């Protein structure tokens, strides 16, 4: 994720992180799906983000302790993948595809237009804390180009106006 930020300082959320009882049960179930603990790291980090939205240092320490995986190895994984966030993100995550097909249909302009409209930057939550925007490589939905993903829903084709409209509706 931090390929766009130069800093490697893990951010603190100023409070400890712990799985809820429900997520702890989910975690145990995840472990049963793989031969070794390391293999479960990706789904486990997604689970943390489900609960906490992003991955503060407290969560990294918690997972490291829980899974007995060195902190640095978890940071390697987090920094490798774009969909893990080591900085605070907003409660709604919007992925705008800027890969080849979507770009041909104006995806990059939509992304830039949205940043401008909401007066924000890559991943930076809007001032009301509602939305974080992130440009993305192919979302695997080229037939909907230009498309975006709002939380877990795909929408497309969109243009800047309809995209703004959809985001304004978000809670």
124 is written with which tokens? 């930076």
100 binds, among another protein, ligand FES, none (CB under 5 to 8 A by kind): ligand FES
Contacts 24+ apart (CB under 8 A), 109-118: 109/160, 110/146, 110/148, 110/158, 110/159, 110/160, 110/163, 111/135, 113/160, 113/163, 113/164, 114/160, 114/163, 114/164, 114/167, 117/160, 117/164, 118/167
Identify the bridge partners of residue 66 per DSSP, sorted by sequence position.
none
Residue number with CB closer to ligand FES (25 or 100): 100
Tell me which of another protein, ligand FES, none is bound by residue 149, counting a contact when its beta carbon lies within the kind-specific cut-off of 5 to 8 angstroms: none
Q: How far is the CB of 115 from ligand FES (least distance, A)?
A: 18
User: Which of these ranges, 30-38, 81-89, 94-102, 158-166, lies near ligand FES under the rule CB under 6 A?
Assistant: 94-102
39, 73, 151, 162: residue in contact with another protein (rule CB under 8 A): 73
Q: Which stretch binds another protein (CB under 8 A): 24-32, 70-78, 105-113, 122-130?
A: 70-78
Report d(CA 98, CA 94) in Å as an integer.
Answer: 13
Task: Please choose which of another protein, ligand FES, none residue 80 contacts, taking the beta carbon within 5 to 8 angstroms, the exact cut-off set by kind.
Answer: another protein
Angle at 78 (CA atoms; ends 77, 84), nearest 5 degrees: 135
Per-residue burial over 151-168, b = 16 or more CB atoms within 10 Å of its CB, e = otherwise: eeeeebbbebeebbeebe
Find which of another protein, ligand FES, none residue 147 binds, CB within 5 to 8 Å per kind: ligand FES
Nearer to another protein, 2 or 92 (CB): 2
Provide the binding-site residues for another protein, judged by CB under 8 A.
Answer: 2-3, 6, 8, 70-73, 75-76, 79-80
Provide the binding-site residues for ligand FES, judged by CB under 6 A.
Answer: 97, 99-102, 138-142, 145, 147
């Amino acid at each position: 994720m931090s390929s766009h930020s130069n800093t490697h300082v893990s951010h603190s959320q100023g409070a400890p992180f712990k799985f809820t009882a429900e997520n702890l049960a989910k975690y145990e179930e995840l472990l049963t799906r793989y031969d070794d603990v390391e293999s479960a790291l990706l789904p486990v980090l997604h689970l943390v983000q489900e609960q906490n939205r992003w991955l503060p240092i407290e969560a990294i320490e918690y997972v490291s302790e829980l899974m007995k995986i060195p902190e640095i190895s978890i940071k390697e994984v987090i920094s490798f993948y774009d969909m893990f966030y080591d900085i605070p993100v907003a409660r709604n995550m919007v992925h705008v595809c800027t890969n080849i097909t979507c770009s041909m249909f104006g995806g990059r302009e939509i992304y830039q237009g949205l940043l401008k409209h909401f007066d924000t930057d890559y991943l930076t939550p809007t001032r009301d804390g509602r939305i974080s925007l992130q440009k993305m490589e192919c979302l695997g939905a080229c037939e909907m180009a230009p498309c975006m993903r709002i939380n877990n829903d795909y929408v497309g084709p969109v243009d800047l106006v309809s995209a703004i409209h959809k985001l304004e509706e978000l809670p």
